[in-house]
């Protein structure tokens, strides 16, 4: 499994894909946080925090993570290497786990440079260290869980088609529905209790909860369940492929 993960990571950085994903992610966040005169601008906000990073990143990942995962299975189908992969001493679940691990590792590598934003605000605030570190690192953990769910959705989408573009569009659709769709669907219901229940089915409700700096077991269980929810049909589809 780890060998497969290392192979996929080398594949990311053996081409422009890995570098491009990281460059786009960091460029977009840097522009909105430091350059553009927007609601996310740190210099203009007068507040010692990097909350804008955690508002922008889920939307950037919504496009970038499906772009990374779209080829993980579809390319294997297209090239016919899926048959070779399945002859190796790996179960279908281990194959999925290896590719999932490669995807989340790339996300982690992309996130690491953003710690510079945290240390910059920490040092340059009117009062040194006047930043809510607990909420910040809770937000980082929430963003990793969100990315992990996105990767599992992207892998499921990639397992559906041998066309990477179709896999990208399906993966992006799933990410959009789970991040934004349930919040919008909740507004249809007149009952506040029903609204809260529908919102709890979406990612944003649990992501915002983690961003407060408190890691609730219910939020962790939600993300783990969501990953499993997309892993099971991916495993079933992979089992059917020859």
pLDDT, tens digit, for every residue of 125-164?
666 666 777 888 888 999 999 999 999 999 999 999 999 9
Tokens encoding 191 = 């009952």
In the block, residue with structure tokens 């992006």: 172
Coil/strand/helix, residue 215: coil
Instruction: Select, from the ranges 14-18, 64-68, 78-82, 152-156, the one with the highest average predicted confidence (pLDDT).
Output: 152-156
Kindly state the average pLDDT of the residues 15-36: 84
pLDDT, tens digit, for every residue of 92-135?
899 999 999 999 999 999 999 999 888 888 777 666 666 777 88
Tokens encoding 29 = 């966040």
| Number of neighbours of residue 168 by Cβ within 10 angstroms | 23
Residue range of the domain that includes 38: 2-240
Query: DSSP strand E in 65-158: where?
Result: none
Q: What total number of domains does the chain contain? A: 1
- pTM, 2 dp: 0.92
Would you give the DSSP letter of residue 33? I
Residue 103, judged by CB atoms within 10 A of its CB (0-12, 13-18, 19+), counts as buried
Q: Is residue 52 within 8 Å of residue 40, measured between CB atoms?
A: yes
Query: DSSP strand E in 61-129: where?
Result: none
């Amino acid at each position: 499994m780890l060998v497969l993960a290392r192979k996929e990571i080398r594949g990311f950085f053996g081409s422009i894909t890995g570098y491009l994903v990281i460059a786009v992610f960091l460029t977009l966040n840097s522009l909105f946080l430091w350059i553009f005169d927007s609601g996310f601008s740190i210099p203009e906000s007068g507040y010692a925090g990097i909350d804008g990073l955690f508002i922008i990143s889920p939307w950037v990942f919504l496009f970038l993570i499906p772009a990374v995962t779209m080829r993980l299975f579809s390319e294997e189908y297209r090239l016919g290497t899926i048959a070779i992969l399945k002859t190796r001493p790996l179960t279908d679940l281990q194959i999925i786990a290896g590719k999932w691990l490669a995807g989340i590792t790339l996300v982690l590598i992309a996130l690491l440079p953003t710690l510079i934003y945290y240390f910059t605000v920490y040092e340059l605030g009117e009062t040194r260290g006047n930043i809510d570190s607990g909420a910040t690192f809770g937000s980082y953990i929430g963003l990793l869980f969100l990315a992990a769910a996105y990767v599992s959705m992207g892998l499921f989408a990639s397992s559906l088609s041998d066309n990477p573009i179709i896999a990208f569009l399906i993966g992006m659709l799933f990410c959009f529905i789970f991040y934004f769709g349930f919040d919008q669907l909740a507004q249809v219901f007149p009952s506040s209790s029903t609204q809260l229940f529908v919102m709890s089915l979406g990612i944003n409700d649990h992501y915002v909860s983690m961003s407060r700096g408190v890691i609730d077991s219910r939020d962790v269980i939600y993300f783990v369940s969501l990953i499993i929810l997309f892993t099971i049909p991916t495993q079933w589809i992979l089992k059917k492929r020859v």
